[in-house]
Structure 1
Amino acid sequence: MQEKFLHYIWRHKKFKTTHLTTTGGDVVNVIITGLYNTNAGPDFFNAQLRIGLQLWAGNVEIHIKSSDWYLHGHEQDKAYDNVILHVVWEHDTEIFRKDNSVIPTLELKHYVSKDVLNNYNRLLTNKNKWINCEKDFASVDHFTLTNWLERLYFERLERKSKTIETLLKASKNDWEAVLFKMLARNFGLKVNGEAFFSLAKSVDFSVIRKVHGKQLSIEALLFGQAGLLHSNIEEAYYLKLRNEYEFLKRKFSLSNNKVLPVQFFRLRPHNFPTIRLSQLASLYHENQQLFSKIMDLHDLDAFYDLFAVSASSFWKSHYTFQKTSGATSKMLTKPFMDLLFINTILPLKFCYAKYNGQTLDAELITLAGRIASEKNSIINAFNNLRPAASSSMESQALIQLKEMYCSKNRCLQCAVGNALIIK
């Protein structure tokens, strides 16, 4: 037995609420269980109870055993002076206030269904499982899961918005600058994401604004800050980039000392940092006020049109500066644009709406619902338990579920866990 389970039982009234009596024989009528407190002090504030003939308003404290009151030193803490009911699983001693009056105690074990206990034990005692409920995940009804995933999706957007809010504060509320940093990170994907992010942070966005009108200048800026222009390569395009970067470096007092090195190893050629940086440069070369354009978009196809950019002409026959390859288009693919939309555009739209005191919940659900589900080990594992993800909204929600609930054994805070406990 765990206290968190007793908190759950009390908070959600998962016990027989009729014929409740204290250990002293007084009838208990639970009107309001109180506000759950996760900080120091009693577990529930401002509960309303009728004990015997007396109506009480105050706090409720919960323990496994009554004697835990003394074990935790509550008798010496003024914060517990207003406790009107001590809820325990097992009553093993009387608890007194400072004036020696007895604090009424409710022993819960007599009022909790054996089925609830068995379901809880079955769920939380699973060992060596990918998730605790993997044997029963498929049995949860569709309505419960669908509504929970929608809520989890917005939890994930809230989680991502923390990074955006930090960047916004650092940039003095320059949303265009925040977009550039977020896009840079996601253009780098997992392998080069942090390197591209450090690159974006190394350049004040005012510099991007000043050079974006010339493709060569913005490419030189990005390649130079990434440390890709230090080699002795006798190639005309490379030499132009290097000369332009040296000019920009002096003009804007640039430094890349804190920029992480980019990686080529174990990447498919179309994900090489050279290709992705050139595509990012093209996006900003072709679009002024990119953030404003994106915020004005409410249709996924319009977003695809806006991001239909390609690496510059040199890269049609190259993946690196030194080696030629067969000529291929280096345009952003739809799957790559989907990743940008999932990880950058939708979180920014959510955060920008919140910043302006608005909500875009319905629009975000619609847009995320139009994008195909991501494919990774987490999504594959959930889909093996039941078909759970067909859109990016569901795949993002399932990632949130695994990372923030399943992996942390937070079954009592999960709608799936709740459904399985009380079934």
Structure 2
Amino acid sequence: MKEDFLHHVWQFKKFDIANLKTTKGESIQILNSGQYLQLAGPDFFNAQLIIGNQKWAGNVEIHLKSSDWYVHNHEKDSNYDSVILHVVWEYDVPIFRKDDSEIPTLELKEYVAFTDLHKYQSLVSQKSWIYCENEIGNVDDFIFKNWQERLFFERLERKSQLIFELAEISNHDWEAVLFCLLAKNFGLNTNGEMFYKIAKSIPFSVVRKESYSSESLEALLFGQANLLSQDFQDNYAKELQKSYNYLVLKYQLHEKVFGLVEFFKHRPDNFPTIRLAQLANLYFHQKNLFSLVMNGTSINELYQIFNVGVSQYWETHYNFDKNSSKKMKKLSKSFIDLLVINTIIPLRFAYARSQQKEITQELIDLAILIPAEKNAILEKFYSFGVNSQNAYESQSLLQLKKNYCDNKKCLDCAIGHFILKK
């Protein structure tokens, strides 16, 4: 038994409310169960009750045992002075206010049906992966689709936190924000944080000025990635070293990035050298990139914007000083899909919010056009009868797993509510 179940029971009145009585035998009538704000202080605010013949307005606190009031030191906290009812599963000791008056207590276990308790215990009993794995495939379609939309935008809310932080740091230079986000996502999971630090270490004003030279952009990115600090045989690598040293002096780039990019376990096309070269080439070919990605009206237009490869040197190299067979190394459609999911859609969401514009349906429509990602989490959901047809659905499922399932927040989840109501 957990307190979140009691919160659920009280909030949704999942108990016999017709003949409620306090532990002292006084009748209880619930006019308003209060607001469940999940903030510091009592669990439910601004409740309205009739206890005995007296109408009360105030707060409700919920515990498994009434003695938990003292375990949590509520008797010393003025936030709990306005509690008008103590709701508990088990009454073991009376609770008193500072003026020595006893707080009325409702013992819920006398009023909750065994079937509701059984459903709750069945829901939260440990399964192999998630608590509702045996039921999730049978959730009502209308409820599931409405919950998906909520999850999709919750995920965008979470991703937008970093975007707003970058906007604040850059004095709302949205081109600079986009550069940092793209760098992070070009690095994927392994090198994402390192690429993000590299992008942040280069003032975007420098990127703007040097974007007319692919060599200068590569020098900046490779140099800040600590990839130009050795003796090279290739003339191109030596030229990048010279360019980087010149740019450091020219722009006073003394903020070093500590750490090394990771090559291990990457396929050659995902080597950090190739991804940095592609990022440099993108900014060499696409000026005013923020305007382009914000105003792109179709997924095909976005594919065209990111239809870039690498400079001539990297067509025959994966590492400095090591020749390989020639390959254009253009961004794949699946990689661009990831950029749209993790960069473009969150950026559009955050920017629209900053401009107080409503683009909810536009973002859903764009996400629906992108194939669902492929990973172990989505494969596991599929094994339980939940399939993702597109990025809108897959992003929703990833949010469900990360924010609800992993944190055992079944009673904050529409799927958990549906299962308990069945």
What TM-score do you get using the length of structure 2 for normalisation?
Answer: 0.94
Q: Give the AA of the match of 1:46.
A: N
C-alpha contact 1:157 1:350 (8 A) present in aligned 2: yes
Superposition deviation, residue 65 in structure 1: 2.7
Distance 2:194 2:83 in 1: 54
C-alpha contact 2:34 2:48 (8 A) present in aligned 1: yes
Question: 1:61 aligns to what?
Answer: 61
Superposition deviation, residue 76 in structure 1: 4.4
Superposition deviation, residue 250 in structure 1: 1.7
CA deviation string 1:95-136 (max 9, x = no partner): 444455443322212221211111111122315x21112222
Question: 1:206 aligns to what?
Answer: 205
Q: SS of the counterpart of 1:15?
A: coil
Distance 1:253 1:75 in 2: 59
Superposition deviation, residue 236 in structure 1: 3.1
Distance 2:297 2:52 in 1: 60
Question: 2:399 aligns to what?
Answer: 400
Further displaced range: 258-267 or 345-354: 258-267
C-alpha contact 1:63 1:88 (8 A) present in aligned 2: yes
Q: Give the AA of the match of 1:214.
A: S
- Superposition pairs for residues 280-299 of structure 1, below 5 Å? 280-299=279-298
Superposition deviation, residue 240 in structure 1: 2.6
Q: Give the AA of the match of 1:19.
A: N
Q: SS of the counterpart of 1:55?
A: strand
Question: 2:275 aligns to what?
Answer: 276
- Superposition pairs for residues 299-338 of structure 1, below 5 Å? 299-338=298-337
Superposition deviation, residue 388 in structure 1: 2.6
Superposition deviation, residue 81 in structure 1: 2.9
1:36 maps onto 2:36 in alignment: yes
- Superposition pairs for residues 219-238 of structure 1, below 5 Å? 219-238=218-237
C-alpha contact 1:33 1:48 (8 A) present in aligned 2: yes
Change (3 A) 1:194 1:81: closer
Pairwise CA RMSD? 1.9
Superposition deviation, residue 68 in structure 1: 3.2
Further displaced range: 374-383 or 64-73: 64-73
C-alpha contact 1:226 1:256 (8 A) present in aligned 2: no
Distance 2:351 2:150 in 1: 19
Change (3 A) 1:52 1:188: same
Distance 1:71 1:265 in 2: 51
C-alpha contact 1:225 1:259 (8 A) present in aligned 2: no
Q: SS of the counterpart of 2:318?
A: coil
1:162 maps onto 2:161 in alignment: yes
Distance 1:96 1:347 in 2: 50
Q: SS of the counterpart of 2:260?
A: coil
Superposition deviation, residue 204 in structure 1: 0.9
Superposition deviation, residue 295 in structure 1: 1.4
1:46 maps onto 2:51 in alignment: no
Q: SS of the counterpart of 2:323?
A: coil
Question: 1:84 aligns to what?
Answer: 84
C-alpha contact 1:237 1:314 (8 A) present in aligned 2: yes
Q: SS of the counterpart of 1:254?
A: coil
Question: 1:27 aligns to what?
Answer: 27
C-alpha contact 2:136 2:386 (8 A) present in aligned 1: no
Superposition deviation, residue 284 in structure 1: 0.7
Distance 2:291 2:379 in 1: 36
What TM-score do you get using the length of structure 1 for normalisation?
Answer: 0.94
Question: 1:217 aligns to what?
Answer: 216
C-alpha contact 2:371 2:390 (8 A) present in aligned 1: yes
Superposition deviation, residue 198 in structure 1: 1.5
Question: 2:121 aligns to what?
Answer: 121
Aligned length: 422
- Superposition pairs for residues 139-218 of structure 1, below 5 Å? 139-218=138-217
Q: Give the AA of the match of 2:64.
A: I
Superposition deviation, residue 56 in structure 1: 2.0
C-alpha contact 1:269 1:319 (8 A) present in aligned 2: yes
Distance 1:305 1:331 in 2: 12
Change (3 A) 1:71 1:188: closer
C-alpha contact 1:199 1:260 (8 A) present in aligned 2: no
Q: SS of the counterpart of 1:213?
A: coil
Distance 2:357 2:333 in 1: 29
Q: SS of the counterpart of 1:20?
A: coil
C-alpha contact 2:185 2:192 (8 A) present in aligned 1: yes
- Superposition pairs for residues 99-114 of structure 1, below 5 Å? 99-114=99-114
Distance 2:279 2:165 in 1: 23
Superposition deviation, residue 93 in structure 1: 4.0
Distance 1:67 1:242 in 2: 70
Distance 2:263 2:68 in 1: 58
Identity of aligned residues (%): 51
C-alpha contact 2:22 2:104 (8 A) present in aligned 1: yes
Question: 2:263 aligns to what?
Answer: 264
Q: Give the AA of the match of 2:86.
A: H
C-alpha contact 2:144 2:415 (8 A) present in aligned 1: yes
Superposition deviation, residue 371 in structure 1: 0.7
C-alpha contact 2:224 2:257 (8 A) present in aligned 1: no
Q: Give the AA of the match of 1:108.
A: L
Superposition deviation, residue 223 in structure 1: 1.8
C-alpha contact 2:58 2:84 (8 A) present in aligned 1: yes
Question: 2:243 aligns to what?
Answer: 244
Q: Give the AA of the match of 1:202.
A: S
Q: Give the AA of the match of 2:3.
A: E
Q: SS of the counterpart of 1:61?
A: strand
Superposition deviation, residue 286 in structure 1: 1.4
Distance 1:76 1:293 in 2: 58
Question: 1:18 aligns to what?
Answer: 18
Further displaced range: 55-64 or 341-350: 55-64
